Amino acid sequence: MELPFIAKIIVSLLLGAAVGFERESYENHTNKEKTSGRGSLGVRSYALISLLGVLSGLVYKTHILLFIFVALVFLFLLIGYYLLGSWLNKDNGITTELAILLTYLLSVFLALNIFPVQIIIALTVVLILIMSLKTEIRTIVSKIQHFELDAFISYSIITLVILPFLPNEAYNLSNIPGFGALMKSLSVQMGPLFNLEIINPFNLWRVVAIITGIDIVGYLLEKTVGQKNSWLLTSIAGGFISSTSTTQSLAIRSKKSKNVNGLVAAAIFANISSFVQHFFLIASANVILLAAGVPYLISIILAGIMVGLFFMAKSRKVSDTEMTSTRKDINALPIFSLKPALQFAVIFTVIKFLSKVSLLVFGQNGFIITTAFASFTGLDAVTLSVGEIAGKIITYKTGILALVFANAVNLLAKTTYCFIQGSRPFAIRFGIGALFIITMSVTSLFFLK
């Protein structure tokens, strides 16, 4: 949509005045005692800058030399304004100067129809928003620790630098130079195993990006809500980071605590977080499998909530000292590093390959058993492995069966850890809760189509 001549001037003046209003309002609230230095730019200054920009753009086609002259004068004035302010106030920041330059350029863009007027308005709103969040941004930056920044940089390298350049191609045993000749010389008949996919670099690294991304989201959740004086929120947030580690930490705490029911409830809610996490993992790998597994996912989440609320009702308030210790145990876990990511990639590749071999040798029942055993170390790799092959190599029903058995084995493994590391009352009650969740998940199989 191209605006008439007068409309462009009016819109430009309004947008410039809006930016100036934000600047003047900020200056009035933060620099009330300021008596020297640069004069503050407000509504009138930014409105005039916008007017200068839109008029320059309007004369560009007919008087290009005038346009260049005005642009150069404006640039020299802006540089002088910056140098004067740096000298008087010892302030080398250029935020205000950039806001002035952007206000001028947006008016020129509006006059020359370089961008639609809607885009110009949107960019002005973004400019105002960025300028108004100065205090909030400083507060956030001051709270970010260096190890947190390292973690986010590492994750950016994984997702934005490495992932886009990996080949999205499957590799199997036949792609290994000399492997086929070696098997023939040894009189080994590989059969279908020879063409069995071992690895797809892009898909494998995408899995790593998903897992580490969930770890970072879990850390942010723990950082924002888990630090509050709520043991329930702390447990839920800890479950997103590592439900196994959180359960073990609470089990150890149960040896010194009289509030066993409260700690059991916390452990159950930590595992509910992992159930929600697996919901998103399945969704990222196989949407059809997710639709088929809705009864299973709902059953374990609802069963977990019922068990958690039951023990929470029977518990007394968990002391701040106990939950502070639990938070320290959770916070001791790394946010993210390349080493665990690569270790997970190796585990995922091995589980995926062994699952396919088991499927070829023993059939779909053997695949379910293999998947269940693999869940001793965790459910992330198992869930993604099942999601990748469901509907291709195995049926969706077999995929759901594998997930049900894997979750059951994983919960029983956590119960075993509780007996080893925690008090007996804690382990027994957690085990009862785990058995109830397992029973509900098995019941959900009757709703499979």
122 and 160 co-located in one domain: no
154 and 201 co-located in one domain: yes
Query: What pLDDT is recorded for position 434?
Result: 93
Of 142, 169, 190, the last residue of a domain is: 142
105 and 154 co-located in one domain: no
Query: What pLDDT is recorded for position 36?
Result: 43
Residue by residue, pLDDT tens for the chain (449 residues) are 567 878 888 989 999 899 888 888 877 766 654 544 445 678 888 899 999 998 998 888 888 898 899 889 988 888 888 787 667 666 666 778 888 899 999 999 989 888 888 898 998 998 888 888 777 777 777 777 776 777 778 788 888 888 888 888 878 776 777 766 666 666 656 556 666 667 788 877 876 776 667 567 656 766 665 544 455 666 676 677 667 767 877 787 788 777 888 889 888 998 888 888 878 888 887 888 888 888 888 999 999 999 999 998 887 654 445 444 544 544 445 565 566 566 656 766 776 677 667 666 666 666 677 777 667 666 777 787 788 788 887 888 888 888 888 889 889 888 988 888 788 999 999 999 999 999 999 998 887 76
Query: What pLDDT is recorded for position 196?
Result: 66
Query: What pLDDT is recorded for position 303?
Result: 93
The H-or-E segment that residue 172 falls in is: strand 171-172
Of 80, 110, 142, the last residue of a domain is: 142
Locus of tokens 């039951």: 310
Look up residue 374 and give its amino acid.
A
Number of domains in the chain: 2
Q: Which residues contact 414 (CB under 8 A, 6 or more apart)?
A: 243, 244, 247, 271, 430, 434
User: Is-contact 336 155, C-beta < 8 A?
Assistant: yes
Cα–Cα dist 68/60, whole Å: 8
pTM of the model: 0.51
Query: What pLDDT is recorded for position 275?
Result: 87
364 and 429 co-located in one domain: yes
Q: How far is CA 168 from the centre of its chain?
A: 23
**Cα 324 to Cα 194, 255, 344, distances in angstroms:** 54, 16, 29
134 and 206 co-located in one domain: no
Cα–Cα dist 362/372, whole Å: 14
48 and 152 co-located in one domain: no
417 and 268 co-located in one domain: yes
User: Is-contact 268 433, C-beta < 8 A?
Assistant: yes
Cα–Cα dist 197/183, whole Å: 17
User: Is-contact 23 96, C-beta < 8 A?
Assistant: yes
Query: What pLDDT is recorded for position 428?
Result: 93
User: Is-contact 97 82, C-beta < 8 A?
Assistant: yes
Query: What pLDDT is recorded for position 385?
Result: 77
Q: How far is CA 405 from the centre of its chain?
A: 28
User: Is-contact 267 235, C-beta < 8 A?
Assistant: yes
Of 113, 142, 171, the last residue of a domain is: 142
User: Is-contact 19 130, C-beta < 8 A?
Assistant: no
70 and 157 co-located in one domain: no
99 and 178 co-located in one domain: no
SS3 169: coil
303 and 345 co-located in one domain: yes
134 and 217 co-located in one domain: no
> Which domain does 297 fall in, by range?
146-447
User: Is-contact 204 345, C-beta < 8 A?
Assistant: yes
227 and 333 co-located in one domain: yes
